[in-house]
Chain A
Amino acid sequence: GDSVTQMEGPVTLSEEAFLTINCTYTATGYPSLFWYVQYPGEGLQLLLKATKADDKGSNKGFEATYRKETTSFHLEKGSVQVSDSAVYFCALRKTGTASKLTFGTGTRLQVTL
């Protein structure tokens, strides 16, 4: 079945450091890929998405590129802020259908001054 694997956390960075959170997937066909962010005590918010190979999703300084050859969708940010501290989830969904999301286990990011 479909699955998503994320690097384990927690990830602790100093403010303005470079962030990479790795995500790889296993799926049949060509899924859409997503990054969601969850702040403490809140629900998930869509951060960015990509729907086909080589697409780059970007939002709020975060980026991720859909790499079909390596089945990856790594999240990056050039300079993190304390306010980026949250749990980040990588997810996939079958393209063209209103179907379920399959999530990774999440990566907790802690940014310190």
Chain B
Amino acid sequence: NAGVMQNPRHLVRRRGQEARLRCSPMKGHSHVYWYRQLPEEGLKFMVYLQKENIIDESGMPKERFSAEFPKEGPSILRIQQVVRGDSAAYFCASSPPTDEQFFGPGTRLTVL
């Protein structure tokens, strides 16, 4: 059973471009979470999704950030018009209902 997969592992964008981060949950997992880790800091929750539904987006910035988890395919975290402050590691985790979360290797976003 493959683990949580994220791609790309590293992403470089210039200010004003769009960043798309993908997350494929473990087989059988219907819950996906996105977290952001700023340099030398802990992980901060961003959004929690189930298939075709956003359950909790209390950690998402109000502007430029969006997330989806379609019926088919990976979950996508989209950042529009990136700024230098968006540079961070973005981690996805997946779980079955009411169980522990398994983390992917992360996508390290660098904004030039």
Contact = CB atoms under 8 A, between A and B. Distances in A.
Are A and B associated in one complex? yes
Interface of A: 34, 36, 42-46, 49, 89, 96-106
Contacts of B93: 44, 101
A97 B95 CA distance: 11
B31 A105 contact: no
B39 to A, nearest CB: 11
B98 interface: yes
A43 B101 contact: no
B103 A45 contact: yes
A98 B99 contact: yes
How big is chain B's contact interface, by range?
A: 20 to 34
A101 B41 contact: no
Main secondary structure of the interface of A (DSSP, over half): loop
B85 interface: no
Given A43-B105, A45-B103, A96 B98 contact: yes
9 contacts: A43-B106, A46-B100, A97-B98, A98-B96, A98-B98, A100-B56, A101-B35, A104-B42, A106-B41
A43 B103 contact: yes
A100 B100 contact: no
Contacts of B48: 98-100
A44 B56 contact: no
A43 B97 CA distance: 21
Contact of B42 (A42, A43, A98, A103): A103
Contacts of A106: 41-42
Interface in B12-55: 31, 33, 35, 41-45, 48
A98 B99 CA distance: 6
B42 A100 contact: no
Contacts of B35: 101, 103
A43 B91 contact: yes
Given A98-B95, A98-B98, A89 B43 contact: yes
A44 B43 contact: yes
Given A99-B48, A101-B45, A43 B95 contact: no
Contacts of A105: 41-42
